[in-house]
């Protein structure tokens, strides 16, 4: 399951639109843990270097992952 899907399943009201890695609505910054992003059609390399991911395309690699949708 993606990070986005885990949050939605837990009942959180998270931002998303396409779930395909295209719209960038689910963009968030990883604050703790590690994820692997499968697809990326919108983020630039400097954003990825700064810790931003598309949560619809991320799968947890570590036991604990904390993301923030408020970081811009």
The band of 32, judged by pLDDT with boundaries at 50, 70 and 90, is very high
Contact call for residues 58 and 36 (beta carbons, < 8 A): yes
Q: Give the total number of structural domains in the chain.
A: 1
Secondary structure E strands in the chain: 27-32, 35-37, 52-54, 58-60, 66-68
In this prediction the pTM is 0.93
Domain residues for 53? 3-68
Residue range 34-68, pLDDT digits in tens:
999 999 999 999 999 999 999 999 999 999 999 99
CATH number of domain containing 60: 3.10.20.30
């Amino acid at each position: 399951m993606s990070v986005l899907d885990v949050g939605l399943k837990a009942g959180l009201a998270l931002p998303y639109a396409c779930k395909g890695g295209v719209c960038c609505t689910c963009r968030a910054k990883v604050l703790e843990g590690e994820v692997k992003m499968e697809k990326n059609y919108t983020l630039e390399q400097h954003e990825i270097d700064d810790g931003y991911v598309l949560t619809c395309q991320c799968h947890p690699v570590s036991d604990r992952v904390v993301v923030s949708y408020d970081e811009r």
